[in-house]
Amino acid sequence: MAVLFGALGIRSLVHWARRPIEGSDAGDHVLFALFVTGRAGLWFALAGLFALYASVSVRGRAFVDEVQRFGWYAMVFVLLGALQLVAAYFLGRRPAE
């Protein structure tokens, strides 16, 4: 699953990098780069989550007890999702040329 989601992250990155951006302002390009980072980053974060879970050894312990130390990883999803949402919002609010 980690390899599959990693491949989807690469596909998303290539897909969005090929899309032309209409704005000539540097702010448009920065916002679009943040949007693409959040979008592709979510796929890579999901791949990383599966890789983390695959690396956990649970011999003699409960799975939940072992993965509790990775609770901070939920913030990666929140931050990347917020980055994508905010960048998309501000890109949509930019005046057309």
pLDDT score of 97: 63
Determine the pLDDT at residue 41. Answer: 94
Q: Give me the pLDDT at residue 33, please.
A: 92
pLDDT of residue 95: 73
Residue 46 pLDDT: 94
Does the reported pTM lie above 0.85? no
Q: What is the pLDDT of residue 89?
A: 94
**Distance between CA atoms of 53 and 95, rounded to whole angstroms?**
44
Write the CA distances from 59 to 46, 54, 62, 65, integer angstroms: 24, 13, 8, 11
Instruction: Write down the pLDDT at residue 23.
Output: 72
Counting as low any pLDDT under 50, the low residues of the chain are none
Instruction: Give the separation between CA 97 and CA 93, rounded to whole angstroms.
Output: 12
Radius of gyration of the chain (CA): 17
